[in-house]
Chain A
């Protein structure tokens, strides 16, 4: 009830009432506990901004309840309530005296004999470290370091996990601060926040504890459980990313356990090695990787499955990070057979091998591209060409394994197939052709099997498989050489239409994948796709009308965009239906805003496709764009999601206007062409200029680079059409400043468009830019 009422300014005394109930000397233990639990629930569920003004009352109650003299149940309720209230206590944390009090009670609670209070207090410290990193300096060496290290060493898993999580959080925070510092340096400014490099100072103390924890595991550990051993592995990985070369000396001695008689130590040593590959300088890593590769390849046949699994993962990390080493022919001679054999091991091992193959193939392809390509951008050959076909065949066999539904193996094998196709050089093209035919045959078989399947679970599995086949078809069609796509178009469209027919109304990603596959075929066939449009129409409209599956609706919008580009005027017969579906969806409150935004952008694609014919939709569309642009206002500049949404919405509105403007352009040689264009565009010029002025306004937030780019484009288009008379509709000081920002950008497209728009303005009104 409080969560419903407080945001509306009602029940204003509830928080104070609960505080009194905790601090009142006459309150019973049960009353204190219940009041604190209630406070905790309110803090958990309510928008943090709403409670910010009452944070003093809340903290008074919590700090009182956490004190040592209180009963355990009260301390627990108070500590849990604190965990939920940390987000809106920034002002209290900014005040040193108040911060000291909060930190003192939390640190004391972390030493409580009761495990639940201890864990809850440690959770608070983890959260505090994330939220208030900048205030932690005076507590780190005296309290936070010993408390967290002590927790890491604790035998109780729940406690150890919080100790490890504390340092994973520190690392994550410092990685982000490092990025912020780099960005600030690039832009020649001082970063707002700075790293205190706690991880660097602690790495030599933390690593031995973490490495021992990694080895503390049992055969019977459940794969799905989050254990201190796994958490320690992730923490070492984050430490490596944070401290770079400094991790090497701490971890190197532990690698002696590669040959330990205990599988736990063998696994931990391999895991540790794989975990430190991302962070240190490649020059330091390469000799280590060269040295570790032979024993690692041997570990792929270790008697223990945990060791084999981790060895496969580590080899994948090497392929991802040290591509230069793993693609050497002498390395491949032993690595490829080991990978091939391991693909037949337990699903969990085979899954990691699949991901390793993805990284290996990408590394080989990038290397070949770096050596040079022709206009196609594809290399003639690469180091895996000779074994490419067998690799594809083994992966296809893997997708057929009876146990491939375990450990995500089937999905990993299909994703690997797709990556192999995507990263294949010209001399492997015959394999792409064969794979296409095989996928089509499999699709046909699956549709047949689905028709005969009776149980819901069988049907659902078959649909998942169909989704993966659709995704694989996308990658093969994208790779197809001109002229080959028409050969597979009929069977492919036939299969895709059947899939969409049978999946109608069911929530499944198969429809999304089928629609994206249609998109790739449209792109490949261009105007030849026209013959499938009638058959596709009902599925496309159903996709556009899907209010509860965002991905399906966005994929359907993508098909419309591709159809517009491929068929241009040929799309006209289905446009009334499509535009009706767009307009309904944009006005439907149940439809996800992301879908609406993509539809707004697609109006521009429709306009570009049909040119003057768009006039029949123009009134409706301009109203919608205008309403959307007026509603899109940043009210809270700190709300990243809101800022991002408004930015995207404006970007798509500008795309729509740009498409309309360019579509309505009279490009003929007629002497009245320029006048005709101005007349066609005139009905919505005011709206475009208003939107541009809003986008150029740097308050409350600057336009993103994407928005800046499209905005510069539209400014240039308008000036090009209307010349000097449009200048007065712009807020030129802001427009100039936006264009200047674009010209300074390092991204070539932003720079190009900003320069182009600037030239267009200078042509007609040089003083307009100079004045501002």
Chain B
């Protein structure tokens, strides 16, 4: 059960999973930015 923690055994798959998650995060944050622009939330924060 612990073999994936030995040295860098799981590093390659971790890196790939991280890249995949980063791609999803980018989509999420671009969507949030767009929603917030409509709500003029950035302006509200500046105030």
B2 contacts across to A, CB distance below 8 A: 165, 168, 231, 234-235, 238
In the complex, are the beta carbons of B31 and A237 less than 8 A apart? no
- The smallest beta-carbon distance between B44 and chain A, in angstroms, is 6
B20 contacts across to A, CB distance below 8 A: 551
In the complex, are the beta carbons of B27 and A562 less than 8 A apart? yes
In the complex, are the beta carbons of B23 and A516 less than 8 A apart? yes
In the complex, are the beta carbons of B19 and A561 less than 8 A apart? no
In the complex, are the beta carbons of A352 and B38 less than 8 A apart? no
- The smallest beta-carbon distance between B12 and chain A, in angstroms, is 5
Mark interface residues in B1-45 (1 if CB within 8 Å of A CB, else 0): 111011110011001100110011011001110110011010011
Tell me the bound Cα distance from A604 to B10 in angstroms.
36
Q: Does A408 contact B (CB under 8 A)?
A: yes
Q: Which of A529-576 contact B (CB under 8 A)?
A: 551, 554-555, 558, 561-562, 565
In the complex, are the beta carbons of A355 and B11 less than 8 A apart? yes
Tally of A interface residues using CB under 8 Å: 51
Tell me the bound Cα distance from A408 to B9 in angstroms.
10
Residue in contact with B30 in the complex, picked from A165, A565, A604, A659, CB distance below 8 Å: A565
Tell me the bound Cα distance from A489 to B47 in angstroms.
40
In the complex, are the beta carbons of A237 and B5 less than 8 A apart? yes
In the complex, are the beta carbons of B1 and A408 less than 8 A apart? no
Residue in contact with A753 in the complex, picked from B23, B26, B41, CB distance below 8 Å: B41
In the complex, are the beta carbons of A752 and B6 less than 8 A apart? no
Tell me the bound Cα distance from A440 to B5 in angstroms.
35
Tell me the bound Cα distance from A519 to B24 in angstroms.
11
B7 contacts across to A, CB distance below 8 A: 233, 309-310, 313, 352
In the complex, are the beta carbons of B39 and A756 less than 8 A apart? yes
A558-B35 contact in complex given A234-B2, A756-B44, C-beta closer than 8 Å: no
- The smallest beta-carbon distance between A222 and chain B, in angstroms, is 13
Q: Does A226 contact B (CB under 8 A)?
A: yes
Mark interface residues in A645-689 (1 if CB within 8 Å of B CB, else 0): 000000000010011001001000000000000000000000000
In the complex, are the beta carbons of B8 and A316 less than 8 A apart? yes
Residue in contact with B45 in the complex, picked from A316, A411, A752, CB distance below 8 Å: A752
Q: How many inter-chain contacts with C-beta < 8 Å in the A-B complex? A: 81
Q: Does A716 contact B (CB under 8 A)?
A: yes
In the complex, are the beta carbons of A558 and B34 less than 8 A apart? no
Q: Which DSSP category, helix, strand, loop or mixed, fits chain B's interface? A: helix
In the complex, are the beta carbons of B27 and A558 less than 8 A apart? yes
A665 contacts across to B, CB distance below 8 A: 38
A316 contacts across to B, CB distance below 8 A: 8
In the complex, are the beta carbons of A412 and B12 less than 8 A apart? yes
B35 contacts across to A, CB distance below 8 A: 658-659, 662, 713
Q: Does A33 contact B (CB under 8 A)?
A: no
B15 contacts across to A, CB distance below 8 A: 415
Q: Which residue of A lies closest to B33 (CB)?
A: A565
A310 contacts across to B, CB distance below 8 A: 7
Q: Does A296 contact B (CB under 8 A)?
A: no
In the complex, are the beta carbons of A230 and B3 less than 8 A apart? yes
In the complex, are the beta carbons of B11 and A519 less than 8 A apart? no
Mark interface residues in A346-358 (1 if CB within 8 Å of B CB, else 0): 0000011001000
Q: Does A174 contact B (CB under 8 A)?
A: no
B45 contacts across to A, CB distance below 8 A: 752
A749-B3 contact in complex given A351-B8, A662-B38, A665-B38, C-beta closer than 8 Å: no
Tell me the bound Cα distance from A226 to B26 in angstroms.
38
B32 contacts across to A, CB distance below 8 A: 749
Q: Does A420 contact B (CB under 8 A)?
A: no
- The smallest beta-carbon distance between A748 and chain B, in angstroms, is 9
Tell me the bound Cα distance from A601 to B31 in angstroms.
10
Q: Does A608 contact B (CB under 8 A)?
A: yes
A519-B23 contact in complex given A352-B8, A561-B31, C-beta closer than 8 Å: yes
Q: Does A717 contact B (CB under 8 A)?
A: yes
A720 contacts across to B, CB distance below 8 A: 39
Q: Does A37 contact B (CB under 8 A)?
A: no
Tell me the bound Cα distance from A411 to B30 in angstroms.
29
Tell me the bound Cα distance from A18 to B17 in angstroms.
45
Q: Which residue of A lies closest to B44 (CB)?
A: A756
Mark interface residues in A711-722 (1 if CB within 8 Å of B CB, else 0): 001001100100
In the complex, are the beta carbons of B31 and A233 less than 8 A apart? no
Binding site for B on A (CB under 8 A): 165, 168, 226, 230-231, 233-235, 237-238, 309-310, 313, 316, 351-352, 355, 408, 411-412, 415, 418, 471, 474, 516, 519, 523, 551, 554-555, 558, 561-562, 565, 601, 604-605, 608, 655, 658-659, 662, 665, 713, 716-717, 720, 749, 752-753, 756
Contacts A234-B2, A519-B23 aside, 18 further interface pairs with beta carbons under 8 A come to A165-B2, A168-B1, A230-B6, A238-B2, A355-B11, A411-B12, A412-B11, A412-B12, A554-B24, A558-B24, A558-B27, A565-B34, A604-B31, A662-B35, A749-B32, A752-B41, A756-B41, A756-B44
Show 24 residue pairs from A and B whose CB-CB distance is below 8 angstroms, ordered by the A residue.
A165-B2, A168-B1, A226-B3, A231-B3, A233-B6, A233-B7, A234-B6, A235-B2, A237-B5, A238-B5, A352-B8, A411-B12, A516-B23, A555-B23, A561-B27, A562-B27, A562-B30, A565-B34, A601-B31, A659-B35, A713-B39, A717-B39, A752-B45, A756-B39
Binding site for A on B (CB under 8 A): 1-3, 5-8, 11-12, 15-16, 19-20, 23-24, 26-27, 30-32, 34-35, 38-39, 41, 44-45
